[in-house]
Amino acid sequence: MNLPRRHLLIALAAAAATLACGEGRVSSGGSIVASGPDAVLLRVAAGGGTARAHRVGSDSLLWSSRDRAPAVDRLLGFDDFLGLLMLREPSGHVSSVDLRLGTVSRLAEERIPTTLVSEGSSVFSIDSSGRVLRLTPSGTMSWTMPGTSGVVPTPDGSLLVLTTAEGRSHIRRVVPPETRTLDSATIATVRLTSRTLAGDRLWAVTDAGLVSLRTRDLSQAFDLRIRDSIVAFALTPSGDRVFVATDEDELRIVDRYAEAERGNVDLPGRVSDLRMDPDGHYLLAKAADTDSVYVISIGTARVVSTLGSAWRADLPLVTPDGRVLVAVGDDAVLLDAESSRERMRYRGGAADRWLLIRWNGFRPRAAGLDRPVEFEEYAQDSAAADSALTAMIYGRYGDLTGVGRASATDAPAPPPGNAEGRGTWTVSFATMMTEERAAAMADSIVVEGRRARVVPGNRDGVAVWRVLLGPFDSRQAAERAGMASRMSYWVFEGAP
């Protein structure tokens, strides 16, 4: 059968996607998309206890932690790469909940007086002396920048540091753990900041109005004068529009590409805070004088409902199914965003701290997979990733090394069961840019009398130091050692 070229390309693309992704998975709750993350509600009791998870749209328990979580002041964020939920204790300590293992670990003995921002598994704080503290599962670092008033992490790993002096704000871009300034900009005193989800723009509120900077070099991209005092603002997920709340009974809509105001939203009253729906369907606005929340449709730019709810750091929040989770009495209740009708109730949920995440780590495993899910540590050795990819392809499709070329021998390929057999295996914990930090981390890892060590390496001409443990004579032994360390790890085949 002869197909038109366009149809043939579509068919080939579909076949390639099937080969790459494998067949779709089916859970007890029905079909789910194999390529995208699931929407999940995480909850931890404020007084401490078991961390739990519900798939959005269901009140049945999806997952619970093995360890007991400490008392929690707020849930800071989630690292979908490492599967870590970050939380702040009332004492000021920061802990993490590993959603893969169900374990709970305290990051360090440092107490942070105020949590300013979290990016994945990195938590940043600033004390009164201007010391910037960065806590991560792999280590803690701090440096002092007098006059520091704020920090904004970006997805590329850089950090925007704001200092204020003599009526001006100075913004510098650094890449931790280095503190050398790469780019800088000076603007009027900054009162509020927010960056786009993609991290390409930093928006700042000054006494004169709204300023936008390009994060790659901190050049100014936008400057809009607004006479009224700005009390809050929120960006759409795409970053194309900014909703600005002033001391008037309306929101102003600023178009990023037109670089001008483009319409407004009439409000029942003044508002004091804004919270954007992660999917960009609704905007929540906190009424200034009452415990009410205005739900604003982004598509129609109008208020579609008013909900009675207290405004907390975690609630209310919008779920992807068009509902709003609010605290009502002792319970957490899902209300329809537009009709305000109750759709679901989590008993006792008002005493919990909540966070909406997108993650596919809770999906059921296919029957043919006989080993647990593996997660690659950020910035790990590329050889480890290649080894894992080879093992995955071998386990799913068999030996493909002879495809398209003559075989050097007629010996049959080894059975798939040998992929997990005996050999040489190593546990990798992190790759550091400085030998001192790698040595400090290695000294803290001791499993059954075996201490991790530092192995120097090179990546793209840059010296790096890897924290490794091993070798082990089987993958199972390496996996047990990695789990016993209670740290994030990656197992690869080969000697350290």
Computed from CA positions of residues 348, 351, 357, 361, in that sequence, does the dihedral angle turn out positive or negative?
negative
Helix (H) or strand (E) holding 38: strand 38-45
Quote the distance between the C-alpha of residue 227 and its chain's center: 36
pLDDT tens for each residue of 322-364: 999 999 999 999 999 999 999 999 999 999 999 999 998 888 6
pLDDT higher at 401 or 469: 469
pLDDT tens for each residue of 249-264: 999 999 988 888 899 9
pLDDT at 473: 86
pLDDT tens for each residue of 5-18: 444 444 444 444 44
Read off the pLDDT band of 422 (50, 70, 90).
low
pLDDT at 152: 93
User: In the structure encoding, which two tokens stand for residue 137, read together?
Assistant: 């599962």
Please give the sequence-ordered ranges of beta strands (E in DSSP) within 81-200, or none if there are none. Answer: 84-88, 94-98, 104-106, 115-119, 122-126, 131-136, 139-144, 148-153, 159-165, 168-174, 183-188, 190-195
Strand partners, 86: 77, 96
Specify whether domain 382-398+416-493 bears CATH 3.30.930.10.
no
Over residues 20-46, the mean pLDDT reads 58
Q: pLDDT at residue 382 above 70?
A: no
Domain regions of the chain by residue span: 35-142+320-363, 382-398+416-493
Quickly list DSSP for 448-484: TTEEPEEEEEEETTEEEEEEEEEEEEEHHHHHHHHHH
pLDDT at 365: 58
- What span, in angstroms and rounded, lies between the C-alpha atoms of 262 and 251? 11
Task: Tell how strand 201-206 and strand 139-144 pair up.
Answer: unpaired
Average predicted confidence (pLDDT) for the chain: 81
Read off the pLDDT band of 118 (50, 70, 90).
confident
Q: pLDDT at residue 280 above 60?
A: yes
Q: What's this model's pTM, rounded to 2 decimal places?
A: 0.68
- What span, in angstroms and rounded, lies between the C-alpha atoms of 214 and 220? 6
φ/ψ bin of 45: left (φ > 0), alpha (ψ from -120 to 50), beta (otherwise): beta
What 84-91 contacts at long range (C-beta under 8 Å, 24+ apart), as own/partner pairs, is: 84/121, 84/137, 84/488, 85/42, 85/44, 85/51, 85/355, 85/357, 86/118, 86/121, 86/123, 87/44, 87/353, 88/112, 88/115, 88/123
pLDDT at 1: 43
Q: pLDDT at residue 408 above 90?
A: no
Read off the pLDDT band of 488 (50, 70, 90).
confident
Lowest-confidence region among 108-122, 183-197, 290-304, 378-392: 378-392
Q: pLDDT at residue 439 above 60?
A: yes
The C-alpha R_g of the chain, in whole angstroms, comes to 25
